[in-house]
Chains A and B, each alone.
Chain A
Amino acid sequence: MIELIRVSKRFGAETAVDDISLRVEKGELCVLVGTSGCGKSTTLRMINRLIEHSDGEIHLDGQPVRTFREETLRRRIGYAIQSTGLFPHWTVARNIGLVPRLLEWPVTRIQARVEELMNLLGLPQEEFADKYPSQLSGGQAQRVGVARALAADPEILLMDEPFGALDPITRETLQEELRALQARLHKTIVFVTHDMDEALRLADRLVVMHQGRIVQQGRPIDLLRAPADAFVESLLGGEDRGLKEAALLPVSERMRPLRASQGHAQERIAQHASLREALSVMLWRHAERLIVIDEDDRPVGELSLRRLVRARDDE
């Protein structure tokens, strides 16, 4: 658990982070969003003390971060950044094994751990272990960066725009993988991005920052439904919010049980697909009704355009 209590950071006369309070529960994925220069990275880097905070207190599991030795603190916290920061003169395997080596694990244990992580992140050992970072694609390098951050199995993971430099498709793949990973590992993650779609897709808790302050935080869906002010609203996409919300809700949320009489709808949609996907299928197929199917392709319900659009008051 990470807790920031009335934390500020000043660089000379400039206040980069202004009196923010934030609590990230164990196992929660917290995403910081905001425009460039609003203090996201500064907030993140204060947690592992790459930047010392000027005021307030930062606690890790109830203990102030300043009571730890810097190196000890950082070795307990995974850290992944946009440029990967991989050491160009070390092989992939050696890069991943960095923190375990700093922690003086026995060699065999480090090897086993590196192997485990490479498998976990889809980097076949034979192919990648002895490569140098310059021989990797952007997506592969970023996977190595995440593997390195996870190496010593830290409770906490700090990620600063880790997928920021990737093409949209690779980025989406890695987002999926991060979600899957998180479902298995239950780390406490603070994730910085300025891509709102990425933020909405990943966040358990979404924190919107503006000029060094937190303007709103909560579940993504709650922020979409009730933005605190015009800034949050525009950041969330203004008129696009409807689609963004639809992307967060599964079809199963709005479908209703299948009635035998209405079997004429031909187009199908999976029940765990998002409402946004359902809408897209309707637009593309010129269909006002979709049959909803489960994992085994059995029809379980139907979704009409009217129900999709007007959630609550449709009959």
Chain B
Amino acid sequence: MAAVQGSIVDAKDEADIKTEPATDGFGNNHANDAGVLSASPSSTAPAGNNKPAAGAPEDQQTLLAVLQFLRKNKLSESAEILRREAGLPEEALDPKGADSAGSGLGSGADIDGGDASALLSRVTVSAPGGAKAPTKAGEDQPDVNVVLSAYSQQGDPALYEVYYSGLKKFIESVLDCHRAELSQVFYPLFVHMYLELVYNNHEGEAKAFFEKFSGDQECYYEEDLRILSSLTKKEHMRGNETLLDFRTSKFVLRISRDSYQLLKRHLQERQNNQIWNIIQEHLYIDIFDGMPRSKSQIDAMSGSLAGEAKREANKAKVYYGLLKEPEIELPLDDEDEEAENEEGKPKKKKPKKDSTGSKSKKQDPNAPSQTRIPLPELKDSDKLDKIMYMKESTKRIRLGPDNLPSICFYTFLNAYQGLTAVDVTDDSSLIAGGFADSTVRVWSVTPKKLRKVKTASDLNLIDKESDDVLERIMDDKTASESKCLYGHSGPVYGISFSADRNYLLSCSEDGTVRLWSLLTFTCLVGYKGHNYPVWDTQFSPYGYYFISGGHDRVARLWATDHHQPLRIFAGHLADVTCTRFHPNANYVATGSSDRTIRLWDVLTGNCVRIFTGHKGPIHALAFSPNGKFLASGATDGRVLLWDIGHGLMIGELKGHTECIYSLRFSRDGEILGSGSMDNTVRLWDATKAFDDLETDDFTAATGHIHLQDNSQELLLGTYLTKSTPVVHLHFTRRNLLLAAGAYNP
């Protein structure tokens, strides 16, 4: 076969030959035509072979169509040969209705990835002069129409509108219980049909199609539709990676079996092959047995760029438990604590129903093993830190609905909207801000000033054996309240302190992630990997590893001593805007502009969970301290709560009116704080939100979720700032809430 695409389709044909007669026809004709184009008579032989019964009407029609096509292209000799071999009568054939079903190109071939380019190549090579005859919508020559339109530049977009309206009418006429589910089909169908028209250069028709039907779509697709409306030519689609991904990946719909049967029956009996083709090619229908879902249930879960998540995407086992804390010998004055923590487990780890709270030495079945991923060993300084941590935890205040935390707000003045990232160390001693002028500034929260380490020659002079050597290495002459770190060449979008307070990470629009030393206040390493803006970065809770996510739609796992990433988490359809480690450092959650959240396994790099439901890009993620739940906030102003083990949405907190930029659980997981652009901090009752759902009988099979509309009850307090959006939240070890933002009058 001369043409490459012909050969591809040919191969597919041989496989599909007996299974899908309808679509097979296209493939055959493709092969035929491609063969004919190279004018080899042997190509007609396959045509002959592929006719199961010579007299079958469909095949007859197919052959007629091919014949007609050949005649149009003035390939008279080949036409003669075909006619002779196929035994077709010599007759003038009317141009059959050209079904402008460009989707017929797909011919049921599920080429995932590369589909767009294949499509493109087919379209560009397609011969001109296809039949332009108008619609014969209900005609029973689907094969012919589709075949011809495959080679016609000018399909009939009136058909698109007709088909779409037809489907609309049908869906409006079904039973109520099915209607909600079937309405899910509208949006992806609309987008794909529109894109088909644009690809085939039917600008005017595409525009008309858009204007007629875009208003019917769900309101949460408004942003996408607006972007789509600006896309009127094929060339516009070239650089838009998100859109190309949308075309090549399958939009997932979850429909109950009954509804699906209805739809299938309707489409097949009306021989609406065009819509059927689009559905087969671009949509993945995840069928479940059970009750159809209601509109509100569907609305809760939909909204992402690729539909919902397939059920098997959320079936992998996730070890959401926490790692065992190592044994630490506490100093003598903490003996009473030691008695309680026989295995060195910090006292705080007794959240409600946490299975690891028991004093037994049994491994939590839900926790990963200590050696699942290599973690750095504890140094002496780390052990001292842990002792401090345990001491502080004893003084921690127990929060609850009747015992709300005090909030201390750190306002960045004179930032002129330049504050882009904030982080606070775990012991709340340092606060760092990343700014749009590419600087990073570190402040000391405590009265203790920031000092640099002495120079090497001075270090030689000090007494290394003295007890306060850690104090002596600091150069008091350099003490100051804040230190500024220069190095980036673009706005700094993410900052993260390391657990041992020695390092600071910052990621910026210049595509690098920089590691700064907080002892010398200089830059140590620049990690280059993303070549595009990096939106977020975070150190792992144990140090050594860190993750970054950026515009190139992947998140990367790095270790401080490797200049290249260790893992690449690819799968999102749009930028990765938020990256967070799970408390046990074995999993990474990424939130993205494609409105989904994915949970990745650090060990294998696989995506183990996909959470859909947000209607806007996700900007905040927070794991609960017991590792079981995830909270996420997006530009739609909702906070969604997810159960990681089951992979389901378990709660929705409505209240914020603008984008949520920060989420944080209190130290014991009782309270969830959320900060947003609407200048408020809201506190939610996390124990109550997770309370009713500690049971294990989720209907994970159907994905039916029953969200209670109890946001009002869960809201414990709303605290307004004076025109200062809240960019960061942090609970101190004693459960005081720190918040940070830049004053923006």
- Are the chains A and B members of one assembly? no
